[in-house]
């Protein structure tokens, strides 16, 4: 029987070479029977694919793909499938390529097959399906020998999709931290770096900055220049909340700026931000003023920061004091400072307007959250005015759903303020960030808030949710007690 099959396959191949696909395709199709030996059937099916693609017959491609999906155990054929998919995409037949890749996944669900399937889902506009496929590819690659490149590529694709959505920050961070960028292409390293910069952990953010520094070593490339700019923007966005570890990595990146004047200016701005973070009282006010001199575009923010420090009005600090920043990130910081000053001067309605505008601006995504925005939101939570407090809660919802460094005072302080404001759901979210950032006593705090949330859910008759919250609360409180015992 095998001898007869080989003759039939040889005849089909000769017809393909001598006469063409129109005559060869039926010959190949006669060999596609369920009882055929898998390795032989795979060779026949690949011949049928070649002919159907040359004829541009998507129906035939779909029929052969359905047969292909049944040929498990027929050997490794992904290189051939990959080349056929390339041919189809070059011809504009993306749906046919997707069907072929899907059949290969059903035949042999390898990491590389799943990645190919994900890429074709992207090309056909199914971003959600691609996201799931890349997740499966990454998980499978972790278990497959020699598939490390697939793991990092899959996670980079997922992070890239998540970066534009503030509500998926935790997923982006998880994939970015899990991805091993060793040996990855530069564009993947950049995406992984951006994902890590969204982490509440300063160590994860510092690792992202290290990747930017690596990319910035060659500032003659567009990617190198972009990496340097992103590191500088990260430092500007965090301002005095930038940790020393991150500042050291940013400084290392800025040293790759080829222009001497631009490099020295950027390093001076970084040093000014660190001086603000390290000083208090009038010394801090002076440090803020010096930072404004280094970067005139933030002068309006300097004025408001001085007002917040001194308790006075905005004051007249120069001709540009009335000019609002044009950069969205600086505009957001300006709104935070305006709201904070208004709250301090007993003008809650004015504060509510600034907080509402800040929430709308932050919701648009892709804007770094400066410390003044967190500070204003926190102050609004303790306001006696219901309008200002509601605007503060809304801003907190936006801030906690997106990426950011730890807010001034840490996530734990925010969790407590949210709990006092009656938003235990947001308090739980903030307390989880505190645990992720390894803040002191964070697990005990999370357990206490979950316990409160659990009893509140039980009172509303939501039994299953209440039990889940109380069980998790018990777990965290028990772990906190053990940590306390070890500390003693």
For the domain that residue 463 is a member of, what is the CATH number? 1.25.40
- Helix orientation angle between 94-107 and 111-123, rounded to the nearest 10 degrees: 160
At 51, give phi and psi (nearest 5°): -70, -45
Task: Please report, in angstroms and rounded to a whole number, the separation of the first and last CA atoms in the chain.
Answer: 79
Tens place of pLDDT for every residue, the chain, 488 residues? Answer: 444 456 678 888 888 888 888 888 998 988 888 777 888 889 999 999 999 999 999 999 999 999 999 998 878 899 999 999 999 999 999 999 999 999 999 999 999 999 999 999 999 999 889 999 999 999 999 999 999 999 999 999 999 988 866 667 788 889 999 999 998 999 999 999 999 998 888 899 999 999 999 999 999 999 999 999 999 888 877 766 788 899 999 999 999 999 988 888 888 878 877 776 676 666 665 666 666 556 655 555 555 555 555 444 444 333 344 445 446 766 777 788 788 878 877 888 998 999 999 888 888 766 667 777 888 888 898 888 889 999 999 998 888 876 655 677 778 888 888 888 888 888 888 888 888 888 888 888 999 999 988 888 888 888 888 888 889 989 888 888 877 666 55
For 5, 167, 447, 480, the CA distances from 450, given in Å and listed in that order, are 68, 22, 5, 14
- Give the span between the Cα atoms of 110 and 404, in whole angstroms: 36
pTM, full prediction: 0.62
Q: How many helices (H) and strands (E) does the chain have?
A: 25, 0
Neighbours of 384 (CB within 10 A): 7
Cα–Cα distance measured from residue 377 to residue 2, given in angstroms and rounded to the nearest whole number? 76
155 with 171: CB under 8 angstroms?
Answer: no
As a residue count, the chain comes to 488
What's the number of CA atoms in the CB half-sphere (13 Å) around residue 253?
Answer: 30
456 found inside a domain: yes
Residue-number span of the structural domain to which 469 is assigned:
409-488
Number of domains observed in the structure of the chain: 1
In a domain, 452, yes or no: yes
Instruction: Assess if residue 425 is contained within a domain.
Output: yes
């Amino acid at each position: 029987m095998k001898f007869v099959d080989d003759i039939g396959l040889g005849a089909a191949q000769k017809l393909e070479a001598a006469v063409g696909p129109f005559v060869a395709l039926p010959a190949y199709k006669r060999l596609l029977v369920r009882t055929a030996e898998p390795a032989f059937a795979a060779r026949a099916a690949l011949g049928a694919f070649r002919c159907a693609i040359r004829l541009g017959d998507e129906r035939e491609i779909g029929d052969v793909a359905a047969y292909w999906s049944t040929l498990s155990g027929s050997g490794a054929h992904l290189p051939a499938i990959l080349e056929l998919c390339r041919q189809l995409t070059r011809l504009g037949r993306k749906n046919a390529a997707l069907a072929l890749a899907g059949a290969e996944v059903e035949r042999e669900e390898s990491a590389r097959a799943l990645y190919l399937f994900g890429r074709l889902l992207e090309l056909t506009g199914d971003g959600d399906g691609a996201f799931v496929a890349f997740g499966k590819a990454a998980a499978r690659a972790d278990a497959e020998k020699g598939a490390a490149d697939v793991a990092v590529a899959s996670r980079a694709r997922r992070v890239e999709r998540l970066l534009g959505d503030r509500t998926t920050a935790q997923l982006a961070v998880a994939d970015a931290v899990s991805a091993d960028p060793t040996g990855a292409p530069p564009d993947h390293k950049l995406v992984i770096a951006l994902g890590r910069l969204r982490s509440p952990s300063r160590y994860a953010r510092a690792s992202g900055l290290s990747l930017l520094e690596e990319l910035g070593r060659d500032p003659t490339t567009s990617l190198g220049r972009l990496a340097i700019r992103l590191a500088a923007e990260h430092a500007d966005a965090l301002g005095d909340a930038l940790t020393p570890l991150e500042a050291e990595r940013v400084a290392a990146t800025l040293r790759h700026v080829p222009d001497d004047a631009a490099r020295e200016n950027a390093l001076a701005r970084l040093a000014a931000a660190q001086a603000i973070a390290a000083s208090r009282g009038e010394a801090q006010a002076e440090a803020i003023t010096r930072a404004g001199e280094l970067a005139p575009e933030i002068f309006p923010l300097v004025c408001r920061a001085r007002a917040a420090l001194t308790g006075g009005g905005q004051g007249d600090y120069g001709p540009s004091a009335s000019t609002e920043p044009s950069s969205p990130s600086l505009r957001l910081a300006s709104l935070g400072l305006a709201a904070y000053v208004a709250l301090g001067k007993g003008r809650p309605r004015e504060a509510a307007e600034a907080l509402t505008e800040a929430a709308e601006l932050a919701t648009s995504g892709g804007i770094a959250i400066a410390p003044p925005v967190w500070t204003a939101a926190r102050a609004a939570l303790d306001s006696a005015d219901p309008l200002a407090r509601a605007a503060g809660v809304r801003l907190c919802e936006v801030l906690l759903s997106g990426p950011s460094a730890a807010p001034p005072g840490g996530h734990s302080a925010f969790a407590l303020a949210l709990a006092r404001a009656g938003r235990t759901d947001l308090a739980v979210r903030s307390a989880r960030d505190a645990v992720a950032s390894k803040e002191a006593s964070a697990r005990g705090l999370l357990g206490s808030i979950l316990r409160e949330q659990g009893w509140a859910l039980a009172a509303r008759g939501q039994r299953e949710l209440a039990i889940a919250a109380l069980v998790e609360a018990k777990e965290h409180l028990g772990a906190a007690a053990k940590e306390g015992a070890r500390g003693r």
